């Protein structure tokens, strides 16, 4: 019985793969018979229990008293990784929370498969952090340390798009030069690889990897942009302050935006609600900062200085009830809804009676247009790095949940009008490929 596995620790979802008795890659059920698990943790304060995955999200949505954490992968390589976060009366390092989640995945997979796993190949994006090799290396080292503390004896890494390529290669019947497109919750990654049935038997595949590229843009960035453009204005985002005469000296105490490029305010100067609160509220791993007493105090002060006080009152109600993550879940679901329908709505009746925000696919496209363009340009750059033209690509293999967004899918397809596009398992291809890579490295 083998003791190796592949672990796709994702920004939004995670999977755990191994090789079965028929020498085939499989994903192991991790929660209620499902092979994917949301990368989420809920610390239940009253019961002193920790819930993970769907159970964590359900506990939070049900209104249980505690702390929800998600998008843990986004913290890797950032200064937040060195910080501690408040869990009840304790300050807990982010590294310990990461270890706890990986430990849960390992223990659950071992129970499900009825065997131990000692060696792991962990997936990683091409870049944890864009343009900072030192921070990128630190992110990998942090993840490796967490995996070892979680109980793995040996840890190796593989780029997530290469893992997806190994999975796709199991289905090809001839040699292909493929562009692998993996657009997930946190990053957009690309690899140009040479694959074939014969090459799949080789241990050393370095010569078959023609280029790798990536950018730190993914589904959670789309959530943030959609939220800022469509939801946050209903909570006071971009709201103007009252006339300056009614807010004397306020500019000395708060960060504000001016409509004129001068250090001295005039009567024509417009002041707006500070945007940082809304950017934090739209970013999963920053939402909890808004629950701090100093922040709430500042917002209470701001409420009396904004022309539309009722909008800030909504914001304060949301924050005082610690429902920021609930709003983030609603925005994410609206984005998912718009992958297969033209219109949807976010029901905020829990915030204010009959408050609902209508959203359309066009609003989503407008919100994420710049991000989609950057993703497309990264795909082009990766092909150029391989020394190839787009016409040299014989297949495009797409995976990752964000490829379900029509605009994202179309932006890639438009680059290859005469090339077959293969849609892989959006949430399973990387985990399956990591299991195949684990067999190559440890089997």
The answer to whether residue 398 is domain-embedded is: no
- With cut-offs at 50, 70 and 90, classify the pLDDT of residue 204: confident
The answer to whether residue 55 is domain-embedded is: yes
What is the average pLDDT score of the chain?
Answer: 92
Look up the CATH number of the domain holding residue 10: 3.30.420.40
The answer to whether residue 332 is domain-embedded is: no
Higher-scoring residue by pLDDT: 165, 251: 165
The answer to whether 24 and 436 are in contact (CB under 8 A) is no
Q: What are phi and psi of 17, to 5 degrees?
A: -120, 160
The answer to whether residue 78 is domain-embedded is: yes
- Percent pLDDT > 90 in the chain is 84
The answer to whether residue 309 is domain-embedded is: no
The answer to whether residue 143 is domain-embedded is: yes
**pTM, whole model, 2 decimals?**
0.90
CA 73 from chain center: how many Å? 7
For residue 146, give its domain range.
Answer: 4-175+198-203+424-442
- Is it the case that residue 79 has pLDDT exceeding 90? no
Note the pLDDT of residue 261: 33
- Is it the case that residue 253 has pLDDT exceeding 80? no
- Is it the case that residue 51 has pLDDT exceeding 60? yes
CA distance 429 to 17: 10
Would you mind telling me the total number of residues written for the chain in this entry? 443
Mean pLDDT of 67-86: 88
Note the pLDDT of residue 286: 93
The answer to whether residue 145 is domain-embedded is: yes
CA distance 360 to 334: 9
- With cut-offs at 50, 70 and 90, classify the pLDDT of residue 267: very low
- The total domain count for the chain is 1
CA distance 369 to 372: 5
Mean pLDDT of 94-108: 96
- Is it the case that residue 251 has pLDDT exceeding 60? no
- Is it the case that residue 223 has pLDDT exceeding 90? yes
The answer to whether residue 114 is domain-embedded is: yes
CA distance 147 to 125: 16
DSSP character for 215?
E
DSSP character for 29?
P
> Can you give 40-94 as a three-state secondary structure string?
EEEEECCCCEEEECHHHHHHHHCCCCEEEEECHHHHCCCHHHHCEEEECCEEEEH
Radius of gyration of the chain (CA): 23
Helix axes 160-169, 429-442, angle to 10 degrees: 90
**With the C-alpha atoms ordered 426, 427, 428, 429, is the resulting torsion angle positive or negative?**
positive
**With the C-alpha atoms ordered 50, 52, 56, 58, is the resulting torsion angle positive or negative?**
negative
Mean pLDDT of 271-291: 94
């Amino acid at each position: 019985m083998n003791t190796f596995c592949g672990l796709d620790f994702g920004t939004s979802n995670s999977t755990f793969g191994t090789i079965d008795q028929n020498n085939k890659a499989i994903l192991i059920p991790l929660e209620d018979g499902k092979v994917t698990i949301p990368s989420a943790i809920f610390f239940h304060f009253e019961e002193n229990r920790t819930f993970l995955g769907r159970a964590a999200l359900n506990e939070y949505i049900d209104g249980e008293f505690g702390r929800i954490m998600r998008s843990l992968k986004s913290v890797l390589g950032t200064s937040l990784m060195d910080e501690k976060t408040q869990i009840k009366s304790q300050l807990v390092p982010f590294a310990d929370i990461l270890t706890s989640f990986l430990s849960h995945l390992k223990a659950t997979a071992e129970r499900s498969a009825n065997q131990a796993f000692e060696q792991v190949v962990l997936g990683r994006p091409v870049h944890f952090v864009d343009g900072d090799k030192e921070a990128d290396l630190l992110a990998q080292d942090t993840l490796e340390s967490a995996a070892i503390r979680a109980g793995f004896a040996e840890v190796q890494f593989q780029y997530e798009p290469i893992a997806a390529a190994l999975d796709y290669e199991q289905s090809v019947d001839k040699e292909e030069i493929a562009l692998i497109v993996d657009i997930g919750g946190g990053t957009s990654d690309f690899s140009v690889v040479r694959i074939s049935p014969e090459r799949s038997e080789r241990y050393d595949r370095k010569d078959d990897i023609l280029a790798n590229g990536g950018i730190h843009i993914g589904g959670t960035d789309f959530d943030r942009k959609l939220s800022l453009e469509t939801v946050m204005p209903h909570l006071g985002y971009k709201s103007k302050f009252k006339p300056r005469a009614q807010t004397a000296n306020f500019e000395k105490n708060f960060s504000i935006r001016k409509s004129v490029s001068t250090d001295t305010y005039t009567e024509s100067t417009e002041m707006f609600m500070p945007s940082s609160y809304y950017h934090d509220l739209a970013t999963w791993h920053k939402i909890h900062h808004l629950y701090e007493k100093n922040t709430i105090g500042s917002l209470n002060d701001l409420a009396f200085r904004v022309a539309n006080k009722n909008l800030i009152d909504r914001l304060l109600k949301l924050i005082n009830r610690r429902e920021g993550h609930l709003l983030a879940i609603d925005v994410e679901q609206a984005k998912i809804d718009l992958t297969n329908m033209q219109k949807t709505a976010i029901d905020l009746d829990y915030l204010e009676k009959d408050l609902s925000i209508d959203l359309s696919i066009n609003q989503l496209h407008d919100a994420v247009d710049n991000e989609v363009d950057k993703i497309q340009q990264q795909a082009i750059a990766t092909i150029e790095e391989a020394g190839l033209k787009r016409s040299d690509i014989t297949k495009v293999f797409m995976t990752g949940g964000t490829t379900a967004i029509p605009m994202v899918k179309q932006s890639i397809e438009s680059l290859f009008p005469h090339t077959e596009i293969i849609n892989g398992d959006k949430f399973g291809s990387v985990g399956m490929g990591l299991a195949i890579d684990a067999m190559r490295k440890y089997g």
